[in-house]
Amino acid sequence: MWPLRKELIYKKKKQYRIRLHASARLTKTLLNGSLVFCGHDESEKSLYRGNFIKFLKVFGELNEEIGKVILSNAPGNNQMTSPSIQKELCNCFAEEVLKKIFEELGDDVFSIFVDESRDISKKEQMAMVLTYVDKLGFVKERFIGLVHVMETTALSLKAAIDKLFARYNLSIGRVRGQGYDGARNISCEFSGLKALILKENPSAYYVHCFAHQLQLVVVALATKHHEIFKFFKEVSNLVNVVVASCKRIDLIRESQRERLGLNPEVETGSGKNQELSLEDITSFCDKYDIEVVDMKAEYVDPKYRRRKTDITNHDHYVVNNFNMVLNLQIQELGNRFNELVYELGHYIANVKEDKRFDNLNGVGDLAKMMVKTRLHIDYLLVYRLIKLSLVFPVATANIERCFSSMKIVKTDSHNRMSDEYVNDSCICYIEREFLQ
């Protein structure tokens, strides 16, 4: 009897492993594409029982070994298709992604980017992105999570940051920069979020997002110059009139085909044959706006061009703010700053004679080449200065992309997703390169 029972136990374990492996592979695929797991009706009579069950059934049809151990062929209490099991699998993948991110970060310093936005169910969500230099010298921006905040006061946001840091065993003392959008609850000198963090860590320098600074400049100039204000008012009215009617939108498409001289049989696609849309009009307006603002700004603010360049060129930003980076290094090194000066002299002399450092494109390439040539070990303090310049905050564009991904994960038809489920799904979708 014992050998038969032992064989039966082994068979059940094998079936369980096959079922678990199939469910895990399917979960990974759905997370990678931000596809919905559950369906509106998952009963046996339903025409479509949701992506998870439907795709799992397809797995069984394509693989006989899997088909024998899933769904109706599995024990009633161990089919691994319930929503709670799906969420647990999703959480496991999210934890694996975060584990790889923190292994990539190691014990090094980093900067934080924080912003908040409402999701589709009108919940205020705070997102956080870390910027750091990995072990190969590459600058990385990684999304590490969403936190539902009841209020957007500085104290509430600080509590949410502390919660994330405690969950992932991060230290405020390792923060070397904090980047935000410049709202008053963030940038206030005395009670803002930046001030609360600076009280704990004076090395966490605050930088107002340069993209938002550019936006403020554009708005200020547009309100002062009647030509620009009138142009955007007319464009806004035109877009509103066209969007209100499908017939008008069709007329725009037809006029585009006539302008390009296309026959009705010619398919529209990319390039010259693409259909004209309102997005094309607004992008043209944005480009026109920037060009006009540049011409006006030369007379209004001579420093404007430099700020515009800083947004697209991190190296120019580092040069213009070198004193801030250097002060941070002095603050960290203390009495060892003289060692940096001595080491820097030898480093410059060595690099000038090394042809591998010729024609490098910016500070980022310099950091990668130092790691590649192992000079980051010989000139440890110099490499640390370079890393500090690379992790310094510039713009919060990556945070905005995270919020765009959140809207893909949590949609109108799936607005009751729990905060934990949304967080795990966003981590897996945004950092899906770790799921490959």
Which of these three, 253, 282, 305, is where a domain ends? Answer: 305
Q: What is the pTM of this model?
A: 0.76
For residues 195 and 105, state if they share a domain: yes
pLDDT of residue 90: 93
Could you list the residue range(s) of the whole structural domain that residue 225 is in?
214-305
Which of these three, 280, 305, 330, is where a domain ends? Answer: 305
How would you classify residue 121: left for phi > 0, otherwise alpha for psi between -120 and 50, otherwise beta?
alpha
Q: Quote the longest CA-to-CA distance of the chain.
A: 95
DSSP letters, 83-107, are: HHHHHHHHHHHHHHHHHHHHHHHTT
Name the token pair of 401: 């992309």
For residues 288 and 343, state if they share a domain: no
Q: Does residue 87 sit within a domain?
A: no
Q: Does residue 202 sit within a domain?
A: yes
For residues 321 and 345, state if they share a domain: yes
For residues 205 and 100, state if they share a domain: yes
Name the token pair of 293: 């603002």
Give the count of domains, the chain: 4
**Which residues sit opposite 179 in a β-bridge?**
113, 207
Q: Does residue 328 sit within a domain?
A: yes
pLDDT of residue 303: 40
Query: What are the phi and psi torsion angles at 115 (to 5°)?
Result: -155, 160
For residues 99 and 63, state if they share a domain: no
Q: Does residue 86 sit within a domain?
A: no
Which of these three, 305, 338, 372, is where a domain ends? Answer: 305
Q: Does residue 228 sit within a domain?
A: yes
pLDDT of residue 269: 57
Q: Does residue 257 sit within a domain?
A: yes
Taking only the tens of pLDDT, the chain with its 436 residues reads 566 677 777 778 888 888 888 888 999 999 988 888 887 777 778 888 888 888 888 888 888 888 888 888 888 788 888 888 889 999 999 999 999 999 999 888 898 888 888 888 888 888 889 999 999 989 899 999 888 888 888 888 888 899 889 999 898 888 888 888 766 666 666 677 888 888 888 888 887 776 666 777 777 777 777 777 787 778 878 887 887 788 887 887 777 777 766 665 555 555 555 555 555 444 444 444 544 444 344 433 444 333 333 333 445 555 555 566 666 666 666 667 778 778 888 888 888 888 888 888 878 888 888 898 888 888 888 888 888 888 877 777 777 888 888 888 888 878 888 889 889 999 999 998 888 7
pLDDT of residue 325: 63
Contact assessment for residue 347 and residue 382, using Cβ atoms and an 8 Å cutoff: yes
Contact assessment for residue 99 and residue 169, using Cβ atoms and an 8 Å cutoff: no
Parallel/antiparallel/unpaired status of strands 110-118 and 124-133:
antiparallel
Neighbours of 434 (CB within 10 A): 16
Our CA angle for 353, 357, 362, nearest 5°, is 140
For residues 415 and 346, state if they share a domain: no
For residues 168 and 225, state if they share a domain: no
> How far is Cα 416 from Cα 424, in angstroms, rounded to an integer?
15
For residues 370 and 405, state if they share a domain: no
As a residue count, the chain comes to: 436
Q: Does residue 197 sit within a domain?
A: yes
> What 8-state DSSP symbol labels residue 353?
T
> How far is Cα 292 from Cα 88, in angstroms, rounded to an integer?
53
For residues 399 and 380, state if they share a domain: no
Q: Does residue 69 sit within a domain?
A: yes
For residues 148 and 179, state if they share a domain: yes
**Which residues sit opposite 178 in a β-bridge?**
112, 206
pLDDT of residue 232: 76
Query: What are the phi and psi torsion angles at 226 (to 5°)?
Result: -60, -35
